[in-house]
Amino acid sequence: MRKLIGVLMLMGALWIAPALQAQEPAWIQVEAQPSLRAAEARARTYAAQFADVNGFRLPSGWYAIALGPYPTSDAATRLQSLLQDRRVPADAYVVDGDAFGQRFWPVATGLRQPLVIDVPPPEPAAQPSEEVSAIAAAPERPVASDSPAPATEPLEESLRHEALLSREDRIALQEALQQAGFYRGTIDAAIGPGTRSAMAAWQAAQGHEVTGVLSSAQRAALLGAQAEADAALGLARRRDEAAGIEVILPTALVQFDRYDPPFARYGGDAGVEIILVSQQGNPQALAGLRDQIRALPGVPAGGRDSFDAAGFEIETAEGARRAHVLVRLHDGAIRGYVVTWDDRAPDMAPILAAMRQSFAPIGPQTLDDLGAAPSDEMRAALLEGVAEAAPSRSATGVFLDAEGHVLTAAAAVAACTRISVDDAPAVISASDTATGLALLRPEAPPPPRRTAGWQRLPLEVGAPIVAAGFSLGAAMGLPALTRGIVAAPPEEGRQSLRLEMLPGDTGAPLLDGTGAVVGLLLPTETAGASLAITTAAVESWLEGQGISLPGSGTGQDLSPAALAEGAAGITTPVSCWN
């Protein structure tokens, strides 16, 4: 077996080398972590799914996790495929690797080759349903049903023991692999390719022969180690009836403190605090809650923050403080959790994995039902920045020139008694129902933070694009970035897209990877599909208004942070009042 792996690795290296010599290598950076320990844990998780995981120290002191290397011409195609299959985070991007410093994963240098498993995976005893409740799929971890066997157990015997595992046994196996950092897939009791890869990665880490099939002794060792780790952390299910939440918590580290609606607080002396979040709400309340959580004393500023109409996640760190936030809006209820910790805390990776996997609502009740009035601090945070009146509808515009002219969709400003661009009153300078465009002129024009550059080249089908819109109106403060792809060739100045948009995204600019504007979103009522007007059609109409579009060079693709910063500079919320 080891000889076979060595031969295949040599053949792979000989095949890859000429391709990489032909052009500069490129990488797909999937995420970065503030500490080496956290980065190694995430690298192990990715290694259970991908064979080409690498980790590098960055000049900022963070640690990057990247897939590759690939020929430059193939990296973007590979990234798009991974994004469509949702196998990598939505903000993953292609980099040249020039900023990568010392490698920390894998330990050995050079290209990481796939593990070779020559045993076909058996069919699962029962096909699991596509949707399995996190609670139903995570029973108490059972004791292994078979007795430990010698380490030299024949492969055929290991497969026979594996085939006799119950559904609960297979779930326990996947949970143990997940909390050990080797499995990233769904806990579904199916021993498929993902579970096989995770078992192979665990075997490699333990110094065993890599087969992708655990012997009885290996399985007992894995489950035993996980049971000890669970006991040390006190991982147990907490059913908070008042909050309407069931979730696994580290009871050895935190205990219930008090209800402080919309929060249920759990704390202790181990440097860890967990807050369960529970309230009734809508997308506007969701945006306000994000600001409230951002202002909590234990949550550092900055970090990664993904937000859309369905919820948000925050990962942030400053000094010894770390925070992880997950909040979701479903059926009029906002629920989630905030985890903060410092350097006194143990490894948080298994705790966060257990919480994410087990988190589930258990009814319609929320902490609003306690009837407790919010504290003065909470009331101030909730009311801060909320206008006394709301506009009839909201949209997005893009700055065109130094005079502050704003381009948006005509439908967004039709039949409005009053129009505002950000907080400044504005008037319609020109509007055209044929193109669907409107040109606005603020009465006291604020200087645009940045003027958009426009790309005139036609977009290819399948090309990735990003819409930068104020999805939930001016209260957001910054535009949200929504990713999509080009669905069809342009036709009569229109471009069909596969992109989820909200009404507030109407008029939002479409950006390519370099941050150049390639079109403008028009209103649509079709879920999952959107329509944009092309740059060529925009330019043709604006020429009649005496405005020329500034061009854009063919710059390099931007990082997600740089793309978001550029989008914030060229966009503005547009409000219609009646």
pLDDT of residue 335: 95
Q: What angle do CA 570, 575, 578 make, to 5 degrees?
A: 165
For the residues 60-67, what does the mean pLDDT come to?
84
More confident of the two residues 578 and 228: 578
Q: What angle do CA 37, 40, 43 make, to 5 degrees?
A: 150
For the residues 427-445, what does the mean pLDDT come to?
90
Across the chain, mean pLDDT equals 79
pLDDT band at 377 (very low <50, low <70, confident <90, very high): very low
Are residues 421 and 294 located together in one domain of the fold? no
pLDDT band at 476 (very low <50, low <70, confident <90, very high): low
Query: What are φ and ψ of residue 135, in 5° steps?
Result: -75, -45
Are residues 361 and 402 located together in one domain of the fold? no
Task: Please report, for the domain that includes residue 366, its CATH number.
Answer: 3.40.1000
Q: Give the tens place of pLDDT for each residue, 21-56.
A: 345 689 999 888 777 777 887 888 788 778 889 998
Are residues 377 and 472 located together in one domain of the fold? no
Are residues 567 and 513 located together in one domain of the fold? yes
Within a domain: 130: no
pLDDT of residue 24: 67
Within a domain: 272: yes
Within a domain: 157: no
| Domain finish residue from 82, 105, 128 | 105
| Domain finish residue from 75, 105, 135 | 105
Is the predicted pLDDT of residue 315 greater than 70, yes or no? yes
Are residues 404 and 354 located together in one domain of the fold? no
Are residues 376 and 494 located together in one domain of the fold? no
Full residue range of the structural domain in which residue 482 is found: 393-577
- What is the rounded CA–CA span in Å between residue 361 and residue 310? 15
Within a domain: 59: yes
556-564 — which CB contacts under 8 Å span 24+ positions?
Answer: 556/514, 557/93, 557/94, 557/513, 557/514, 558/93, 558/513, 558/514, 558/515, 559/93, 559/95, 560/91, 560/93, 560/481, 562/515, 563/466, 563/481, 563/511, 563/513, 563/515, 564/478, 564/481
| Domain finish residue from 54, 87, 105 | 105
Closest CA to 347 of 177, 176, 207, 180: 180
pLDDT band at 554 (very low <50, low <70, confident <90, very high): low
Is the predicted pLDDT of residue 576 greater than 90, yes or no? yes
For the residues 397-426, what does the mean pLDDT come to?
90
For the residues 327-344, what does the mean pLDDT come to?
92
pLDDT band at 10 (very low <50, low <70, confident <90, very high): very low
Within a domain: 55: yes
Are residues 26 and 57 located together in one domain of the fold? yes
pLDDT of residue 18: 39
Are residues 377 and 397 located together in one domain of the fold? no
Are residues 282 and 408 located together in one domain of the fold? no
pLDDT of residue 529: 81
Is the predicted pLDDT of residue 358 greater than 50, yes or no? yes
pLDDT band at 475 (very low <50, low <70, confident <90, very high): low
pLDDT of residue 562: 78
Task: Please report, for the domain that includes residue 409, its CATH number.
Answer: 2.40.10.120
